[in-house]
Structure 1
């Protein structure tokens, strides 16, 4: 059984044929839908801007959200602190 399927996504008045894993279809369609929703909101608010500029604004908004999520999910500071506390406890129990 082939787990790949071909779908057509409509984004910004254009169609994009893509081949994806079957289980990714819903995610891909939802992503395209979110792009179109934001693009339409920008079109309503900035009626005189060229489509390329509107698409750039949508891309910027998604990139900004992505970076904020990465920062929020950064566990490195906690990992460093846990390592530091573990070392302190180990020293204490060794009697140092």
Structure 2
């Protein structure tokens, strides 16, 4: 089930979620980055879980990346979690762009 199906095709809800995501995404990813830099596995698990939860409604690759980061941190593999940071940045940007494209009047939606 895709994002629009999850929200029942309501474009107003999609626009609101996109706005909230843009405001929160950088903060959440920044917290995850700081947690990784601190080397505290508990903080990384918590931060990765927050990112995963925020992304879950969009059901994108970024959600899966955040979940993998959380799983790796849970077992103390912080280096393996940190290795996914670039992929998280890329996939979250792709998610953000997909939302912008979906809501753009030029796409006919």
Whether the TM-score (by the shorter chain) exceeds 0.5 is no
**Comparing both chains, which one has the higher relative contact order based on Cα–Cα distances under 8 Å and sequence gaps of 6 or more?**
2
Largest Rg, 1 or 2: 1
Q: Identify the structure with the greater helix proportion.
A: 2
Sort the TM-score into its range (normalised by shorter chain).
Answer: 0.3 to 0.5
Q: Identify the structure with the greater strand proportion.
A: 1
TM-score, normalising length: structure 1 = 0.36
